[in-house]
């Protein structure tokens, strides 16, 4: 196992190198390029643009600029964010706690409810509950995130839902809190709508994969053998079936984990959540190449190592999996 982990880690180095090259070339050849914010200023002359190109090293060949950038990255210098006027790592680090709070809660909610709903559907296949869960899952997978977020804001923040006694359900439409001091109740109110929006898609995905995987496992010979030995249905399901049924689900969960770090660009922007996703959207609008490169590179590292973690988890879930 140790040899496998080392080999996979070393194999990730050229992969990340290739990803960084592709990202660097695409972002630096985007319309306007790194000087796009300056080109919109009518007071800047062509001579000013040429001077900026020279000062920023943009008059050098792109391969030379990439080598310089890579050398800085290897020394822990991700560059300077022009849109935030601060180092890239500092800009990401400042917004990471808000993203981890939102995405972490959404991930836990979607994982808990999704897996539970999938198990419930598999235990009672083709029942009324199974059809209801399946319908809701298809609804969650097909629902446009931006539209659903706006509808929730319209329903709970603009019109509100009246309750008996003159009360109404009102939820904040934007931000992470109302007050400067930490208030748990206030923070939960701000979390409800974005968590619902972010949980819906993954919840539907997890439930469908869990249902199909568990149904397949329940038809295997070793499950029938366990039933013939007189084991209880609960023991058969959770001791023999669930562990093997989780193997394909692990891949889906592992691929969604980097999103916890990266944030949700659309959702964070709509709800004005001060996280990394909203920061990336602002960097995209301002052609902040250094910030976009740092953000995307960190996500690439997270994707590669989350896949490695999923492969390692396979060996625990299924002892038949061997790594040479």
Residue 88 lies in a domain: no
- 263-308 confidence digits (pLDDT tens): 688 888 899 888 888 898 888 888 888 889 999 998 888 888 888 7
Residues 105 and 239 in one domain: yes
- CA proximity to 115, closest of 16, 14, 250: 250
- 210-253 confidence digits (pLDDT tens): 888 888 888 888 778 877 877 777 777 777 778 778 877 887 88
Residues 39 and 127 in one domain: no
Residues 168 and 222 in one domain: yes
Residue 129 lies in a domain: yes
User: In total, how many domains does the chain have?
Assistant: 2
What CATH number does residue 105 fall under? 1.10.3720.10
Distance of CA 162 to the CA centre of its chain: 34
Residues 177 and 237 in one domain: yes
Residue 8 lies in a domain: no
Residues 202 and 70 in one domain: no
Residue 278 lies in a domain: yes
Strand ranges for the chain from DSSP E:
80-81, 86-87, 161-162, 168-169
- 265-275 confidence digits (pLDDT tens): 888 889 988 88
- CA proximity to 5, closest of 303, 323, 318: 323
Distances 64 to 52, 57, 60, 206 between C-alpha atoms, Å: 17, 9, 6, 45
Residues 115 and 62 in one domain: no
Domain carrying residue 164: 94-317
């Amino acid at each position: 196992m140790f040899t496998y982990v080392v080999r996979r880690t070393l194999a990730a180095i050229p992969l990340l190198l290739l990803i960084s090259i592709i990202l660097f070339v695409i972002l630096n050849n985007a319309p306007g390029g790194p000087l796009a914010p300056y080109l919109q200023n009518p007071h800047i002359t062509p001579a000013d643009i040429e001077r900026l190109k020279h000062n920023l090293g943009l008059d050098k060949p792109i391969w030379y600029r990439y080598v310089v950038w890579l050398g800085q990255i290897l020394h822990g210098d991700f560059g300077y964010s022009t849109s935030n006027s601060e180092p890239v790592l500092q800009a990401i680090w400042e917004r990471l706690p808000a993203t981890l709070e939102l995405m972490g809660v959404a991930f836990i909610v979607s994982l808990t409810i999704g897996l539970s709903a999938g198990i419930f559907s598999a235990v009672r296949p083709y029942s009324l509950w199974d059809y209801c869960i399946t319908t809701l899952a298809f609804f969650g997978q097909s629902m446009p995130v931006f539209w659903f977020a706006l509808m929730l804001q319209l329903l709970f923040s603009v019109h509100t839902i009246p309750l008996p006694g003159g009360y109404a359900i009102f939820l904040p439409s934007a931000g992470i809190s109302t007050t400067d001091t930490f208030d748990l109740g206030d923070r939960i109110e701000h979390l409800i709508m974005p968590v619902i929006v972010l949980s819906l898609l993954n919840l539907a995905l997890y439930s469908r994969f869990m249902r199909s995987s568990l149904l397949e496992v329940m038809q295997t010979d070793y499950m029938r053998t366990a039933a013939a030995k007189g084991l209880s249905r609960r023991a058969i399901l959770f001791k023999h079936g669930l562990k093997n049924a989780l193997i394909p689900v692990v891949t889906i969960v592992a691929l969604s984990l980097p999103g916890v770090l990266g944030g949700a660009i659309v959702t964070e922007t709509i709800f004005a959540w001060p996280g990394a996703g909203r920061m990336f959207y602002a960097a995209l609008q301002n052609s902040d190449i250094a910030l976009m490169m740092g953000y995307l590179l960190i996500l690439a590292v997270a994707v590669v190592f989350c896949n490695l973690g999923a492969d390692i988890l396979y060996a625990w879930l299924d002892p038949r999996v061997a790594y040479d």
